[in-house]
Every structure is written in C-alpha cells, then in structure tokens.
C-alpha cells in the first residue's frame, strides 16, 4: 500500500533565529517610555507585530514590546464591544531632522527606527514645517548614547543633533488586529479565535464553549478586521449526514447566506445555510482533477455544488454528478451553467446507492462491455462523504454482468473517510477491506487530506475495484477460493507515523 502525506491545512512557518546582545542600558527600560490611556495625540495606525522565534534576550524584548503595544488591560472580560475602550497612548522616542535629508538618513537608521507595521516612521513636526520627526524603537533608543558609532557618524556628517525627544503616539481600536483584541478580551490563558473559514462574504467560525459568552463581540471583530466580510456565523451542530449541511447562528452582520466563492479559477454560487462547502478542500479538489486526463469518465457520487465535477468537465472529461440534497442539486445545475460546462455534466438528484446502481451501472456496462470500442481513457468514481462513504462500497459487489475486458479498464475509486485511529491509513484500509471482503494490498494508496480535529484525520483511499468484486460471475469464483493471506504493507505503521511527525 502506498501512503502519501500532504500537509494540507497546516501552516508552514520559517523560524529565523537571531542572536541579540543586550547591553546594560538596553535591559533597563526607562520609566519615561510609559503607556498612558485616553490621552490626546495624533492618530497613527498600528497593524500588528511579527511573531518571532529567537534567543532568550529577543524573547524578553518581544514580551515587553507586547505589553507596550497591546490593548489596555481593562478590556478583559468585555462582552459588548466598546471600541473607545481600546484607546491607548504610548510614548515613543523621536529624532528631529531636516525634511530634505530624511530619505538619506533613514537608510542608515534601519536598526534604530521603529519597525512596527502600520506605523509611519516619519511624521511631520507639529512645531516646525521644515523638519520631520523620525520614530525610534523605544527598546533600542533611550538616550543620546543609545546610537551606535556608525549611526552617530552619519548624524554628524548630516549635521543632525542626536538629541532625543518624546512623542505621544495614540493607538486606537483600528490599530490592533483581531488576534490582539481577542487575546486582551477573553479570559487569560484561554484559546483565542483568530481564524475562520471564509466563504465569500461569510466568516464561518467554530467557537468553543469558553468563547460563547463573547460570541457576538468575536463576530463583530471578525467583520471589522477583515475587509469584504459582512457576516459572521457560528456552527452550532454537527453536519447532517443526509444533506451534509449544519445549523448556524448569526454572530454579527447582515443575514445574507447567499454567497459567491472563487476556487481554483472556478466560480461557485450557493446558499451556504443549505449546502455543504468547505474552503479547506480546495487543494484536494485540485489533486483529484490533476489525476484526470481529457476523455476520462468521472462519477461524482456526492457532488455537492460541483467542486470536483466542474473542474473535471473543464478538462474535457465526461462527468456524471449526483447529490441527494435538492439544494445542492439546484446549485450544481446553476454552477455548471455559470462555468459553461452544463453540456458536459449529467446531473442527478438521487441517493448515492440509487445513483451507483442506476446511472453508474448503466454507463459502466457500456464502457466495459464487449461491444464498447477500444478505449484508452480511465473511469474514476469520487465518493466524498467521509462520515458514511465506505458503507456505500458494498454496492459494488456483483454490480456488473459479463466478463471483465482487462484489469486496466476497471474503475478507480477515490473514497473519503475519517479516522481517529493511531494509524489512520491502516484503519481506513481495513474498514474498506471489511466492507468489500477482500484485501486491497498492494493495489491501494491512502492520502491524508487534512486534520479535522485533534486526533481526527480526513483521508482518501484510492484503489481499482477488483474484477472479483465488480462482476457477478467473478464473485462466484471468489466464494470458492480460500481467504486471502495477510498482506504486507510497503510502509510500516511506524513509518507512516514518523512521516506525519516530520512534515507536520
């Protein structure tokens, strides 16, 4: 069995380790650089600080920086958003220079200049229109002696006094990003919701119990801090296995569930409250599409609104797409027209079992029958209903009459499933083998799609349906055979676990 690991759904971070020497003067932050709340000062916008992994002195400095450039502490426990409560003034060191030399000087003051994203490092001097004020890093520049020799040299060359002045910089709600706001508001030490699934103009969150008292505030912050988001919703129950949708409550915003999304250069429109859509499956949709070749046949048993079917049709495949949910069926038809593939996709509104025993069986009899022309294309069956798809595999038992024309023409199944097992690949294959009553090794592969929850994986097992399963007469021969011997895996359970740990 081939096992593929693809780190979908995980962020890859590149950590840069920097050495940082802290002098005596740098380790003592002067009391002059203090935080003052509700003080009047010009507005300068602050977006966020970068998270860095570095040596201990650097971490200590980042912790102090987090305290200085973070929301006021008295917003803790806020459940009704009060934007004015986030006003905060910090005192920043500045250097006064003539405006005509600012650009030249800034190239030499990269170390000393304030590096906070979103803050203008150069501002007008309110007392002298011919001068400018350069914002300096309050953790590097405390006094005139804080400049390095090279910096003092360029200041001297440009006839700039190293005299440090103070500037009161006012931070407001607009200057903090969502993660900083929620970390300051929610109970200390609790998980902070800063991520969500974006579905067009909708932010879809899965809040935990400790976050529910703050749910309306969280929804409002998500809308405030994410341009284009006008509605925030929270999932309040598990996915319904019949129609693959779930109940949602509106946290904040205009209640408009009709949305439009763009995925892999295709456009999809639907009512998010009535159909299934997961933007985290974008990579998986592309992966399956890449396996297909022009002329191939695709049967999409649980097609949803078309994320597998439409790209396949655009690739000049013959597509049969089905979904039991009447709303999904409606939007599948709509999206086929929207993407101009309605003449290449045959759409059905049937139960998955009826679809397999009806349209799929009929087409397979033509594709694999003795009267069919010699063909080189493949037949693929996608079964993306992870909670129950494996149960539908029993339909393939003795589905076709006649004799197989060749093993290379047999349909290839891509079946999705969840697993909480310590070795999910082995678990999924064993589930499939239990339903089919036959060993799939070595003719199967397992691909990790994404991590759904702690200790819960979504996987796709791909295999070619054995003739002994698909054809009636072959099934009779199988009954007279001895049980297949235990199969060997090309990768051990330990190897799968090690690969998962290394990449994750």
Is 195 marked as a binding-site residue?
no
Beta carbons of 60 and 139 less than 8 angstroms apart = no
Q: Is 384 annotated as a binding residue?
A: yes
**Alpha carbon separation from 108 to 94, 136, 147, 154 (Å, rounded):** 15, 13, 11, 7
Q: At what angle do helices 178-185 and 215-225 cross, to 10 degrees?
A: 160
Distance CA 494, CA 504 (A): 15
The label of the residue with tokens 């070595």 reads: 442
- Closest C-alpha to 134, from 156, 149, 155, 157: 155
DSSP string covering 152-193? HHHHHHTT----EEEEEEEE-GGGS-HHHHHHHHSPTTS---
Residue 323, annotated as binding a ligand: yes
Measure the CA–CA gap between 455 and 457, rounded to whole angstroms.
Answer: 7
Q: CB atoms < 10 A from the CB of 332, how many?
A: 28
Q: What b/e sequence results for 240-270 when a residue is b if at least 16 CB atoms lie within 10 Å of its CB, and e otherwise?
A: eeebbbeebebbbbeeebebebebeebebeb
Q: In 80-162, at which residue ranges do the beta strands (DSSP E only) sit?
A: 88-98, 122-125, 128-135
To the question of whether residue 352 is assigned a binding role by annotation, the answer is yes
Q: Is 304 a known ligand-binding residue?
A: no
Q: Which residue has the tokens 């999206």?
A: 335
Cα–Cα nearest to 138, from 168, 176, 108: 168
Positive or negative: CA dihedral 141, 145, 147, 151: positive
Alpha carbon of residue 408 to chain centroid? 36
**404 phi/psi in degrees, rounded to 5:** -70, 140
In the annotated binding site, the residues are 285, 323-324, 351-352, 384
In the annotated binding site for S-adenosyl-L-methionine, the residues are 285, 323-324, 351-352, 384
């Amino acid at each position: 069995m081939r096992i593929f690991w693809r780190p979908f759904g995980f962020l890859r971070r590149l950590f840069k380790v920097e050495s940082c020497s802290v002098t005596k003067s740098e380790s003592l932050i002067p009391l002059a650089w203090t935080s003052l709340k509700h003080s009047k000062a010009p507005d300068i916008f602050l977006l966020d600080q970068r998270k860095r992994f570095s040596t201990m002195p650097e971490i200590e400095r980042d912790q102090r920086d987090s305290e200085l450039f973070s929301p006021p502490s008295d917003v803790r426990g806020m459940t009704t958003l009060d934007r004015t409560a986030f006003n905060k003034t910090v005192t920043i060191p500045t250097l006064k220079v003539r405006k005509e030399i600012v650009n030249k000087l800034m190239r030499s003051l990269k170390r000393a200049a304030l590096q906070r994203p979103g803050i203008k490092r150069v501002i007008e001097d309110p007392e002298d229109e011919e001068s400018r004020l350069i914002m300096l890093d309050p953790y590097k520049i405390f006094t005139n002696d804080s400049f390095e020799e090279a910096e003092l040299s360029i200041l001297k060359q440009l006839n700039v006094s190293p005299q440090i002045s103070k500037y009161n910089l006012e931070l407001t709600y607009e200057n903090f990003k969502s993660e900083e706001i929620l970390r300051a508001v929610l109970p200390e030490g609790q998980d902070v919701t800063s991520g969500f699934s974006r579905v067009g103009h909708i932010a879809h969150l899965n809040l935990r119990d400790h976050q529910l008292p703050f749910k309306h505030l969280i929804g409002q912050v998500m809308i405030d801090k994410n341009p284009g988001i006008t509605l925030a919703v929270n999932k309040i129950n598990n996915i319904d296995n019949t129609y693959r949708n779930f109940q949602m409550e509106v946290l904040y915003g205009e209640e408009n569930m009709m949305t439009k999304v763009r995925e892999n250069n295709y456009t999809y429109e639907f009512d998010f409250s009535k159909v299934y859509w997961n933007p985290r499956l974008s990579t998986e949709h592309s992966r399956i599409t890449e396996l297909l070749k022009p002329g191939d046949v695709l049967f999409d048993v649980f097609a949803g609104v078309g994320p597998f079917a439409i790209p396949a049709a655009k690739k000049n495949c013959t597509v049969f797409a089905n979904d039991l949910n009447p709303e999904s069926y409606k939007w599948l038809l709509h999206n086929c027209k929207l993407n101009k593939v309605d003449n290449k996709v045959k759409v059905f509104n049937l139960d998955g079992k009826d679809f397999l025993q009806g349209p799929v069986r009929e087409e397979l009899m033509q594709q694999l029958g003795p009267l069919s022309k010699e063909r080189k294309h493949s037949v693929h069956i996608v079964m993306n209903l992870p909670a129950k798809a494996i149960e539908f595999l029993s339909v393939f038992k003795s589905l076709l009459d006649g004799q197989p024309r060749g093993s290379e023409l047999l349909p290839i199944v891509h079946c999705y499933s969840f697993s909480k097992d310590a070795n999910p690949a082995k678990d999924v294959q064993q589930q499939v083998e239990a339903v089919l009553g036959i060993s799939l090794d070595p003719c199967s592969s397992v691909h990790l799609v994404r991590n759904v929850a702690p200790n819960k994986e979504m996987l796709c097992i791909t295999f070619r349906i054995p003739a002994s399963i698909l054809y009636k007469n072959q099934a009779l021969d199988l009954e007279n055979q001895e049980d297949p011997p235990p199969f060997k895996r090309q990768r051990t359970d330990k190897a799968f676990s090690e690969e998962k740990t290394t990449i994750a």
